[in-house]
Structure 1
Amino acid sequence: MKPHVIFVPYPVQSVIKSMLKLAELLHHKGFRITFVNTEIIHKRFLESGGPHCLDGSPDFQFKTIPDASSVDDALQLWNAVETKFLDIFLDLVTSLPDPPTCIISDGLMSAFTVDAAQKMNVPVMLCWPIAACSYMCFYQMKSLVEKGVIPLKDTSQETLEKTLDWIPGMKDIRIRDLPSMAWTNPLGKFFTFAMEAAQRSHEVSRNIIHTFDELEGSIVEAISSMLSHVYTIGPLQLLVDQIPKEEKEKEQSNFNGYSLFKEEPECLKWLESKKPNSVIYVSFGSSAVISRQDLIELGWGLANSNHYFLWIIRSDMVIGESAVLPPEFADHIKDRGYIGSWCPQEKVLNHGSVGGFLTHGGWSSTIESLTAGVPMICRPFVGDQMPDCRYICNEWGVGLEMEGNLERENVENLVRELMGETGQKLRNKAMEWKAKAQIATAPNGSSALNFEKLVEEIAMLSSN
């Protein structure tokens, strides 16, 4: 009998996208897949990709669990994960025709998936679709409290600039480089939720991190010394790209994309008319929100830079208002700017005309940009975007940090810097990381070998 793996992602775009890629890879290896989304997420997939986008195949099934809350309300979601999802999930698993070989759960869903696995006596692995640096920060939150670092006595600039020299594998990390809830809402709900999730890493047989050894070697080494069986298997897209197209079609597992938003491929046609490295791509991901004033400032900053730009403005991106720009803005930019509501990001980043990326620094966007060899301007908003930004700009040498508010002069100057001579140095460094990512995922590369080990171990569980 084929090994049967149940995937349980945290219900946000970036996590689902990464875990779908891992599921697709395991399916290609002959595994049966059951991918569990909440009902709201399932509905959004059907709205964005059409009524048959999740048809999959007999060996790749999508199942749902009822939403015990609105997934748009994070606090309600965390409460549901901790108090309601366990029984719902157990009912689902027991209703499946074949018992699972193992469960691969997003780390933030461990509050119920680890308990469920223990009740069913099924092995469970945690998947962390974040950077190793961000995982280490979440893991060290318990020590930050025990050492009295947080709650902070004050949040002055001087305090936030203080460095910590004791976090394994991380050199000169500043307090402001920690995930934002460590200093904006210490001991709040998300802080304790993330801290406890990271500590549950010790309760599972395997931990999977979406990074590659060459990128975060010292941190991966430190994590591996704390936990048994840590697998770095990124960038996942480069592994997926190695599946021959005809085999994908034969397996019928290439469901229609990974996006919860309807993509606009027209932007790719617009990019075709632009010179190499002449366009800056601007997107703050699937959930970041800004004020209308910030939207206008960002827009004029892009316009005044006199560079071509492709700008993604989600319909829900502006807090409490519609994301509408002044009429004179459209007249001013004419054909220099393309504005869309969502796009096939990896295709955009890999397009030859794109020379830079203004990003929130979420991990999916970051690793996709590194994979494409595109340098970044990083404007983090919340959570793990802070440590990601630190590493993008200070450790990997591929980005410029945007500090403070989204002011037009700031945006204009940074865009000009990234797209000019300074940016060429960053672009060269990004291309080096692109090459290293390709080596890591090539046969006998670190990520490719780790993935093969993971496949072997799941197969062994099936034969026991």
Structure 2
Amino acid sequence: MAAAPAAKPHLVFFPFPTQGHVTPALQLARLLHHCHGFDVTFVHTERNRLRLLRARGPSALAGAPGFRFAAVPDGLPPSDEDAARDDAAALLLSLPTVVPQFKDLVLSELPAASCRRLLLVSDIDPILRAAQEIGLPCVTFWTTSASSLMAMQQIQHLVAKGLVPLKDAEQLRNGYLDSTVIDWAPGLPKGMRLRDFPSFIRTTDPDDAVLALTLRLTECYRTVPSAVVFHTFEELESQVISAMSDILPPIYAIGPLPLLLREVGAGAGGDHAASISVGSSLSKEDRACLDWLDGKRPNSVVFASFGSLVKLTCEQLVELAWGLASSGYDFLWVIRADQQVTGSAAGATAVVLPPEFMAETEGRGRVTSWCPQEAVLRHEAVGAFLTHCGWNSMLESVCAGVPMLCWPFAADQQTNSRMACTEWRVGVELSEDPGREEVEAAIRQVMGGGRGEELRRSVAEWKYKAALAARLGGSSWVNLERVVNEVLALVDKK
């Protein structure tokens, strides 16, 4: 008599607790729960739990049969602000507090809530290592581009070759980052400059803590998880995905997740469809900006947003403001309450734009603190996206067919920008500290003229390829099935 099939493992999702990681992790968790019947526990940090309650109310954490939320203390001071106050440095320093709390959750609470074996899905190095210590099988879900992870994997070689750390601070300013070409990185463009690598290399300190954490993270991904799942699609990053297979555990590309969720939602009805696509914003969204866009002509509005982490100096904000104003185009601009760099130990104050700018742009500009970005990008009025090149933002822009003005700041953003501007040809890159004239010229270039038409054609092609990958039977759906059958199912055989 044939043995009964083993029960599916209970999935424990714990993403790095910033908006850009939480959103795709929740999307994947919803997808696996809805399409494959996995029980899921989605873990937030305590501060994010409180932010969700303020931003979206109790429904954001209500869960559903087989899908529950949990929270672990993070040691961070509570915040009463609704603005996105993600601080990567503070979060990294809080991880030693989180690890024992997470272990206690796994060893004490979750076994009582589920008779199934547990499997962790995370991108947090110390959490993955903690899982290994307690015998919890784990999978990495990398929420940014495959290209950026490959670039990060090369940092150990850059250190070995003496290129990193930098010899002195002058190399940050004298063109060294532009003139130093790295043509040996597998799967990456031959013309990659040192400037195009993740910003963690931009240090002169051989004991730099962030550089050390980056090297530890890339080593963890090579040795700890049983698989690495990427939020991308094969057609977009085929070369680097192929090269990555030689250095990582089995890898799978399963994006763009918003399109996969839309495919599922189209076949579901009523409340069930709503539960699949529930939002994950940690801040209150200004949905009235969609009504404002309704009154605008197609492709007439520049959308500017820099995610939940990037901060700008007062000078950068002013130059950007006047660049938007001088371009002559309408614009929707997201400025978080904590967007501006401040020297005050008490934290940021609300950004105040020049009154002359507000008067100049009255009626054709709207400034808001946060918005439903995916819906904004899909709106027919939006003709260009001025972005920091966070990966969620870039995928959403590609899926909406909107060309980009790329202004990368930190982490993976430099690599994402390079790929978008020179390989995929869906954007133009701004300099590291653009003045108003450069901003104005770039907007005019993308919104109109021959260059703008070229970018729109290219991004339309990638939009089509992304849609094909996300359709039932497309490469991302095939890879999702492989994750279930080749990775998650193997948990029961150990």
User: TM-score band, normalised by the shorter chain?
Assistant: over 0.9
SS, match of residue 341 in structure 2: coil
* 5+ long unaligned stretches in structure 1: none
Say yes or no: does 1:192 pair with 2:212: yes
Deviation at 1:392, TM superposition (A): 1.0
Instruction: Give the counterpart of 1:412 among 436, 440, 443.
Output: 440
Runs of 5+ unmatched residues, structure 2: 1-6, 78-84, 343-348
My pick for the range that moved more, 351-360 or 450-459, is 450-459
2:166 and 2:203 in contact (8 A); partners too: no
Give the equivalent residue in structure 1 for 2:226: 205
- C-alpha separation in 2, matches of 1:39 and 1:255: 23
One-letter identity of the residue aligned with 2:288: E
1:180 and 1:7, CA in 2 relative to 1: closer, same or farther beyond 3 A? Answer: same
Q: 1:390 aligns with which of 415, 418, 432?
A: 418
Which residue of structure 2 aligns with residue 90 of structure 1? 103
- Judge which range, 177-186 or 26-35, deviates more: 177-186
- 1:346 and 1:368 in contact (8 A); partners too: yes
1:268 to 2:287 alignment: no
Q: Do 1:38 and 1:67's aligned partners in 2 also have CA atoms closer than 8 Å?
A: yes
User: Does structure 1 conserve the Cα–Cα contact (< 8 Å) formed by 2:299 and 2:382?
Assistant: yes
Alignment-derived partner of residue 59 in structure 1:
66
What per-residue deviation string (whole Å, max 9, x for no partner) do you get for residues 350-380 of structure 1? 1111110000111111111111111000111
CA shift in 2, pair 1:252/1:297, >3 Å = closer
Structure 1 125/260 Cα, relative in aligned 2: closer, same or farther at 3 Å? same
Q: Residue in 2 aligned with 1:15?
A: 21
Structure 2 residue aligned with 1:149, among 143, 163, 167? Answer: 163
Count of residue correspondences: 460
Q: TM-score, normalised by structure 2?
A: 0.89
Separation in structure 2 between the aligned mates of residue 334 and residue 73 of structure 1, nearest angstrom: 33
Match of residue 187, structure 2, among 163, 169, 188: 169
Give the superposition deviation at 1:404.
3.5
- Aligned pair in 2 of structure 1 residues 459, 404: CA closer, same or farther (>3 Å)? closer
Q: Aligned-pair distance for 1:304?
A: 0.8
CA displacement, residues 422-451 of structure 1 (integer Å, 9 cap, x when unaligned): 111101100100001111112232211111
The alignment partner of 1:357 has SS state of strand
Structure 2 distance, partners of 1:72, 1:310, is: 22
The match for 1:352 is 380
Report the identity percentage.
42
Q: 1:56 to 1:336 in 2, by over 3 A?
A: same
Instruction: Report matched runs for 1:63-462 at 5 Å.
Output: 63-69=70-76, 72-81=86-95, 83-94=96-107, 95-96=109-110, 97-98=113-114, 99-106=116-123, 109-111=124-126, 113-154=127-168, 155=171, 156-161=173-178, 162-170=180-188, 171-184=190-203, 187=206, 188-202=208-222, 203-244=224-265, 246-247=268-269, 249-250=271-272, 253-254=275-276, 256-320=278-342, 321-421=349-449, 422-457=451-486, 460-461=489-490
Deviations 1:68-102 (A, max 9, x none): 33585533432332x33332111011211225431
Distance in 2 (alpha carbons) for counterparts of 1:158 and 1:332: 37
Query: For 1:69, what is the secondary structure of its paired residue?
Result: coil
Residue 459 (structure 1) shift: 5.0
Aligned residues of 1:53 and 1:255 also touching (Cα < 8 A): no
- TM-score, L = length of structure 1: 0.95
For 1:91-138, what per-residue CA distance to the aligned partner results, in whole angstroms no more than 9, with x for missing partners? 0112112254311011xx122x22332233221001110111110111
- Deviation at residue 186 of structure 1 after TM alignment: 5.5
> In structure 2, what is the equivalent of residue 44 of structure 1?
51
How much has 1:408 moved relative to structure 2? 1.2
| More off after superposition, 444-453 vs 430-439 | 444-453
Give CA-to-partner distance per residue, 1:213-258, whole Å, 9 cap, x none. 1111111111012223101111111111111353572387447411
Q: Secondary structure at the match of 1:190?
A: helix
